[in-house]
Amino acid sequence: MKFYSSLAVVAMLLSSAAATRAQNLPSYMAPISGLTTTTPADIATKDVLALNTGMFELYGDAGKVFQANILAKHPVILGLFSGSGGRFTLYRPGMAPLDAPQVPVVYQLLKSVGHSTMALAEVVGPYLDNPANTSWRGSMLAYRSRMQSALDGLDTTPMQPEWRDNNRTILKNNIAFMDDCVAKGVIAFSSLEAFGKKQAPYLAKNVAWAAQTQVNHWMTVLADWKTMLGPDWDKAYAASNTIYVARQNNVLFSVLAQFFPPEAINDRLLLIETVSFTTTQADMLDSLTRIIADRSVGSLFFGNYHLMDYELMGGDARAAIIAESGKRGMTPFLPPVVPFGSHQWPTLVTPGPGPASIADLK
């Protein structure tokens, strides 16, 4: 006589029930039916992990309320990057959003001509010193046509005479370089290098003029908005977006910083990193709302209003990295410790030797 453990009995009953259930299923279910098993540990793990998933759903619902409360009490300024020199929007409690006028179009003209020169380096880069491959020729001839059209109409564009002369030189040099490459049937690196050095001083002028145009425009806008808001400016939040290449010397953030006190940096004035040059106002408002709301949570649990601005496990992870590095005979390599609520400029702040601008390169 055989005796079965209670677990074996349960397994046998489940198997029997599954077999019976399989026999009762219609034939069209056969391809997708089958016995599945889930252990108690699997179920428990999923139940615990679901708490974190549910947190984001709950936060999304609460965030809508938080955002409405913030906009009802505080002016908010968003400075978003765009190809036209940026977009600034002012949100005032109880009023429709106010979009600032765009940067004068000459800013875009200067950048477009400058970028056309940079684009040539991208076009020819894969084919340097390779006479056997002329697949670049069609693209270059098409771009040359566009370049010639731009040069032909340059005199009628809204641009100061000195700036127009500089851009005429850039376009003519571009065309001459392309004609030389087409005529020779090869793109020599020596020719590209000489072309780059020839264009550099003219490109530097375009960069400087574009920056002057952009900064003058936005500082005028913000000065007007600050006067308009009066005392409410002191409780305004402002944020601009950035990607990796624009973290340091971010134009929009730097302009905003001129109208806020230093202690507002990383408090009411925020630089929000994104993964693309452009983002939406809705996404920026969501990010700003979450930052502000999380501060209240950090204060509630840990007694520090700016704790949640930082990676919550960062301090303990730092200690763990130091400990693990020691075990492996390694010297820890970590950034300086920055206190919660630091008002340091939110990008690279440590000075050092070496060029830091186009002017320094001269």
Instruction: DSSP for 29-72, please give it.
Output: GTTT-------HHHHHHHHHHHHHHHHHHHHHHHHHHHHHHHHH
In a domain, 176, yes or no: yes
Tokens of 345: 């400029």
Q: What is the pLDDT of residue 186?
A: 93
Q: What is the pLDDT of residue 22?
A: 52
Q: What is the pLDDT of residue 23?
A: 60
Number of domains in the chain: 1
pTM (two decimals): 0.84
Beta bridge partners of 87: 80
DSSP conformation class of 98: E
Q: Residues 362, 207: contact at Cβ < 8 Å? A: no
Q: What is the pLDDT of residue 349?
A: 79
Cα 214–chain centre separation:
20
Q: What is the pLDDT of residue 34?
A: 74
Report the candidate in 215, 235, 216, 223 with the shortest Cα–Cα distance to residue 91. Answer: 235
Q: What is the pLDDT of residue 187?
A: 93
In a domain, 173, yes or no: yes
Which residues are CB-neighbours of 133 under 8 A, at least 6 positions away?
127
In a domain, 45, yes or no: no
In a domain, 5, yes or no: no
In a domain, 124, yes or no: yes
Q: Residues 62, 293: contact at Cβ < 8 Å? A: yes
What domain range is 116 assigned to?
106-211
In a domain, 125, yes or no: yes
Q: What is the pLDDT of residue 3?
A: 46
The parts of the chain modelled with pLDDT lower than 70 are 1-23
Alpha-helical regions (H) of 185-280: 189-229, 251-257
* Integer Cα distance of 38 and 58 in angstroms: 28
Q: What is the pLDDT of residue 361?
A: 83
In a domain, 288, yes or no: no
* Integer Cα distance of 278 and 78 in angstroms: 13
Tokens of 216: 């003058």
Tokens of 242: 């950035």
Which residues are CB-neighbours of 192 under 8 A, at least 6 positions away?
121, 124, 128, 177
In a domain, 229, yes or no: no
Beta bridge partners of 79: 88, 240
